[in-house]
Amino acid sequence: MQLLTISGSPHIHSTQNVKSIMYGVVIALIPAMLVSLYFFGLDAARVFLVSILACLFFEWFIQKYLIRGPVTINDGSALVTGVLLAFNVPANLPAWILIIGALAAIGIAKMSFGGLGKNPFNPTLVGRVFLLISFPVQMTTWPKPNALFDAPLTDALSGPTTLGFFKEGLMKGESVQEIMQNPGFPGYVNDFLGAQGGSLGEISVLALLLGAAYLFIRKIITWHIPVSYLGSAVIFSGILWLVDPTRFIDPLMHLLAGGMILGVFYMATDMVSSPITAKGQLIFGTGAGLLTILIRVWGVYPEGVSFAILIMNAFTPLINMAFKPKRFGERMAHG
Amino acid sequence: MNLIRNRNIVRTFKIGGVHPPEMKLSADRKIELLSLPAKVIIPLSQSLGAPSKAAIQKGDLVRVGQLIAKGEAFISSNVHSSVSGKVTRIDEVIDSSGYRRPAVLIDVEGDEWEESIDRSPDLKNEITASSEEIIRKIYEMGVVGLGGATFPSHVKLRLPEGKKAEYLLINGVECEPYLTADHRVMLEQGREVLTGIRLLMRALKVEKAFIGIENNKPDAIEHLRQLCSSFPEIEVIPLKVKYPQGGEKQLIRAVTGRETPSGKLPLEVGCVVQNVGTALAVYEAVQKNKPLIDRVVTVTGKNLERPSNLRVRIGTPVSNLIEYAGGLPEDTGKVISGGPMMGKALNSLDVPIVKGTSGVLLMPGAESKRMAPLNCIRCGRCVTVCPMGLEPILLAQLSENFLFEKAEKERIMDCIECGSCQYTCPAGRPLLDYIRLGKNKTGIMIRNRGKK
């Protein structure tokens, strides 16, 4: 007879593990990937390929030759970072810049802290912000969306993102309404479907919501961060909008434009860099929503999602210490 | 039946919990009598508390039901011989804990019962004993909690001065996957259980009893409800299928809405909890004068030929049960005493069934090994599922780093070791291993503090 295994209870384990979670996220990202391929064609495909391969390569290289530990590139986490980094850059970004971004994301943000689970900041966002600060021109030159079956890709047209339109217009003294009359302005429907300038993955709110629904169904993410994030962003931007609708963008446009939906569902919910408890997650989301609108309205950059999430990442350890779960028996409920 | 299944009216505990696959393979198997083994090993201590003192000697001839060890301390219990035959040794024998413990070894000869025991199959539902008599009988007959914790039942019933119980809660939850012993007892011996409950109520002087049963046993709910129709003071409460619904504090929360404070006993919120198997044992002890010498045990496993529910004499080796259920499958990686969430892995099949053994579970080789642990990804799932509202990952880290003062502040002693955290952890962290270690060390630290 074979030897019996002796181990402490429990003796069974749920089917969800790190790998299934990571590949679940990849599956959720597929609709938005398809939309970006539809609007940006081969450029998008090139960015995906370079980003994914670069992230996997750096993870493998660092684990094998610098750390000399086990190689875990098949756990799916580097793949998620690769796809998300591609989602966060313009489709015409030169490959070499993208590779530097991948090195920043995997090398600096993830491996130097000890790999998956140890990183205080979201690796993708570190990569994106690293590039945004280092290569501001290339990172903000947005190719216009060009649907696959529309006009052929003749010359690389570029134009501002939805939030870019607002930032420029408002600085020139135009009102929100005037800006929205602009001939190139995408408008609500296009912003929802994806026909807007912007980073690869952020353009289609619809596709991102589809993926998010999948994440909810698979129980990979919970409602706490998305609801508090969106809620605080809507309330804060709504107050501003009510104060002066000519100077402040309405809340719906805030949700549809830029990286709000991408950030809320796919990066703020990153388990490693967000708080552990439900209460903490609500604080985290509320803070990120507030900061996003603050930066969008008063910051130098038109977009504030990345910075907002990174700032809240920095608060995560404090939030974890301050907000404990409700202990059993704390309140003796009679009834 | 649909009404019972309706989620809205089903009660449950509110914090945490998991839902592992139920795997009740033996739910439809009637309780069968396991034939007498050739030898039994009866550990002298079969309950929480102080060890019992041997009352027989090597070479003695004993009868079924004869006292072989006396529980003299406040928390301790009597042990009786489950067979008739000759005491061959009193020795240290490996039990389900994996440690050597004193035990009585008896070679079985015939099946001679003590004459005081009423062995007739007739129901005896009329209650004549007073509260004190019931409690004394329960003590004499060695009845302990059969849910697994084996706390001596008479101790739970002797209320401290000034304390008053309001409700008796009967635990028929059986939330551990695979186990079906309590389920079968409720179905097949519901009348005896009910009388046991009424005895316990009289002992405690309470007016109201609840039987909590998980919703995946609609037949047991229905059956006991019918039996209870003539006893309005006993109410069956269907509970949501959620682990650990059968945890004492969780059950009280689910049924009464009351939360037992940290470090306190259920009596603090006016409740006393007993298992259905215990209620049956109380019936037999008080009405039939029968000591606790056997119990119903589920023997189960995916590869086992005939997963079964067996009435087994205490002291029967585990291997006898497996033999009865079709023999040890080729692909067996682990043998567990109890359920898969809280049971103990056995290192030998010669280990005896004791009063606290609710099941014997055989796991296939592939399921017996844990996954290799990865870094914690701080997903917080362990926190979400903890039914005590603790942070298992934090407690595990504090224990790993020997920070027991801090662990105490983070309420490590509240952990009920249900295993929900480790079951859920996607990184396969051995959370409960560390927390158990931490609880042990923190407990020692707290006790030493009292001595200074």
Q: H helices within A221-324, ranges in order?
A: 224-243, 251-256, 260-262, 278-298, 305-322
Nearest to B347 by CA among B24, B41, B93: B93
CB B198 within 8 Å of CB B231: yes
C-beta atoms surrounding B248 within 10 Å: 22
Q: How far is A318 from chain B (nearest CA, A)?
A: 14
Cβ of residue A275 closer than 8 Å to a chain B Cβ: yes
Q: How far is B142 from chain A (nearest CA, A)?
A: 28
Q: Across the 452 residues of chain B, what is the mean pLDDT of every consecutive 10-residue run? A: 53 93 95 96 88 90 95 91 95 87 94 94 91 95 90 92 93 96 96 96 96 95 94 95 95 95 93 96 96 97 95 96 94 95 94 95 93 93 96 96 96 96 96 96 91 66
C-beta atoms surrounding A305 within 10 Å: 30
Q: Are strands B271-275 and B167-172 parallel, antiparallel or unpaired?
A: parallel
Is the pLDDT at A334 greater than 50? The verdict is: no
A residues 163-192 closer than 8 Å to B (CB) = none
* Dihedral sign (CA A21, A27, A30, A32): negative
B121-148 b/e with 16+ CB inside 10 Å = b?
eeeeeeeeeeeeebbebbbbbbbbbbbb
A116/B332 CB distance under 8 A: no
Nearest to A233 by CA among A244, A225, A245: A225
Q: How far is A31 from chain B (nearest CA, A)?
A: 24
B378/A117 CB distance under 8 A: yes
Q: What is the ipTM of this complex?
A: 0.91
Q: Which residues of B touch A11 (CB under 8 A)?
A: 334, 336, 340-341, 343, 345, 361, 363, 367-368
B375/A333 CB distance under 8 A: no
Q: Which of A11, A272, A329 sits opposite B340 (nearest CB)?
A: A11
Backbone φ/ψ region at A10: left (φ over 0), alpha (ψ -120 to 50), beta: beta
Which chain A residue has the Cα nearest residue B381?
A276
Nearest to A21 by CA among A258, A214, A205: A214
Q: What are phi and psi of B317, to 5 degrees?
A: -65, 145
Give the per-residue pLDDT at A148.
Answer: 64
Q: How far is A5 from chain B (nearest CA, A)?
A: 5
A residues 92-111 closer than 8 Å to B (CB) = none
* Domains of chain B, earliest start first: 1-34+117-369 (3.40.50.11540), 381-451 (no CATH)
Reported as a pLDDT band with limits 50, 70 and 90, residue A1 is low
A-to-B residue pairs, Cβ atoms closer than 8 angstroms: 174
Give the per-residue pLDDT at A333.
Answer: 47
B259/A333 CB distance under 8 A: yes
Read off the pLDDT of residues A23-55 as tens digits, 9 standing for 90 and up: 999 999 999 999 999 998 889 999 999 999 999
Give the per-residue pLDDT at A331.
Answer: 64
Q: Which residues of A touch B333 (CB under 8 A)?
A: 2, 4-5
B18/A335 CB distance under 8 A: no
Question: CA-to-CA distance for B23 and B274, rounded, in angstroms?
Answer: 24
Reported as a pLDDT band with limits 50, 70 and 90, residue A150 is low
Question: CA-to-CA distance for A328 and A247, rounded, in angstroms?
Answer: 49
A276/B269 CB distance under 8 A: no
A272/B336 CB distance under 8 A: no
Question: CA-to-CA distance for B393 and B383, rounded, in angstroms?
Answer: 8
Nearest to A225 by CA among A284, A313, A311, A308: A284
Query: Which residues on neighbouring strands pair with residue B105, listed in sequence order?
Result: B41, B89
Which chain B residue has the Cα nearest residue A114?
B375
Determine the residue among A1, A2, A5 to mutate to test chain B binding: the one whose Cβ has the most chain B Cβ atoms within 10 Å.
A5
Q: Which of A75, A272, A331 sits opposite B259 (nearest CB)?
A: A331
Is the pLDDT at A153 greater than 80? The verdict is: no
SS3 B154: helix
Give the per-residue pLDDT at B4.
Answer: 46
Give the per-residue pLDDT at A191.
Answer: 84
Q: Which of A14, A271, A278 sits opposite B424 (nearest CB)?
A: A14
Q: Which residues of B touch A71 (CB under 8 A)?
A: none
Q: Which residues of A touch B98 (CB under 8 A)?
A: 6
B345/A11 CB distance under 8 A: yes
Residue range A125-152: average pLDDT? Answer: 83
CB A224 within 8 Å of CB A282: yes
A11/B378 CB distance under 8 A: no
SS3 A225: helix
Q: Which residues of A touch B386 (CB under 8 A)?
A: 325
Task: Report cis status (omega within 30 of 0) of the bond before B307.
Answer: no
Task: Report cis status (omega within 30 of 0) of the bond before A123.
Answer: no
A117/B374 CB distance under 8 A: yes
Q: H helices within A62-181, ranges in order?
A: 77-87, 95-102, 123-134, 136-139, 162-172, 176-181
Cβ of residue A324 closer than 8 Å to a chain B Cβ: yes
Q: Which two tokens stand for residue B299?
A: 């023997």
Query: Which residues on neighbouring strands pair with residue B39, listed in sequence order?
Result: B107
Question: CA-to-CA distance for A28 and B452, rounded, in angstroms?
Answer: 59
Question: CA-to-CA distance for A186 and A79, rounded, in angstroms?
Answer: 31
Question: CA-to-CA distance for A95 and A101, rounded, in angstroms?
Answer: 10
Q: H/E element holding B157?
A: helix B153-157
